[in-house]
Amino acid sequence: MALKHKALMVLFPGFNTLDMNGPFEVLTRGDLFEVVTAAESDITRSSEGVQVKRDVPLDDALIDKLHEFDVLVVPGGPGSQVMAQADADKSSFLPLIDKFAGIGPRPSASHPRLLLSVCTGALFLGKLGAFNGMHCTTHWAYYKELARLNEESAAAAAAAGGSPSEAAGKVLPARFVDAGVNGRGVRVVSSGGVSCGIDAALHVVRVFAGEAAAREAAEGLDYAWRKTDGVVLG
């Protein structure tokens, strides 16, 4: 039996439950992925009031173990909660995402590592500059906010002597956007709002296991996969 792929899902106070559960349900279909949840607290409460117990602590020790994972899933939540997490002091949340975005390919792997943001989870990536020189999407109500974060991070990178070719990430209206592999060997995928994370996760299954596996996962969920509403650039 082929070894499972390993995905890490990071949670924060106020995350959206479907942003987590949609991709979690998809990725664990067909025994293709082992999904590990990480958070800075043992119990993390979603914006809807659901409490989730983490599998592992989200800390510097986990950052040192990121090489063990093939996929990182970053859910979103209400904009105020996302930005509060993005601005949190002494948190390992953003450093972990930043490290994964530049960790490079897994040795001997047949696929590059993949970074997936769901809904407003894209705002974390925008703040970090993970979309610089690429295309992306988020919840439709946050297109302008993501564009602003992309522009700020690109300007900061340029001021710090970064590559002038890394323009601000371009926001597209789509269920999901597969922007291809970044300059550090990581594939970057972002989804639109909430339920779009299911379509994006099915695309991730297609990338790692093929069209038939993704179609089987969608059928098992009794879900009409809107794959043609996604944009695949890489």
The CATH number linked to 103 is 3.40.50.880
Q: What is the mean pLDDT of residues 71-89?
A: 97
Q: Quote the CA–CA distance of 196 and 138 in Å, as a whole number.
A: 9
How many domains is the chain built from?
1
Helices (H), the chain: 17-27, 60-63, 79-86, 93-101, 122-128, 143-159, 196-209, 211-220
Q: What is the mean pLDDT of residues 19-30?
A: 97
Q: What number of other Cβ atoms are within 10 A of residue 88's Cβ? A: 14
Tell me the two tokens of residue 216: 């089987």
Q: What number of other Cβ atoms are within 10 A of residue 54's Cβ? A: 18
229 near 174, Cβ under 8 Å?
Answer: yes
The confidence score (pLDDT) of residue 162 equals 64
The confidence score (pLDDT) of residue 2 equals 57
Residue recorded with tokens 């970053």: 74
Q: Quote the CA–CA distance of 53 and 229 in Å, as a whole number.
A: 34
Mean pLDDT over the full length of the chain: 95
pTM reported for the whole predicted model = 0.96
The confidence score (pLDDT) of residue 4 equals 86
What are 57's strand-pairing partners? 39
In sequence order, the 6+-apart residues with CB closer than 8 A to the CB of 91 are: 40, 85
pLDDT interval class at 107 (50, 70, 90): confident
Write out the residue range of the structural domain in which residue 164 sits: 5-232
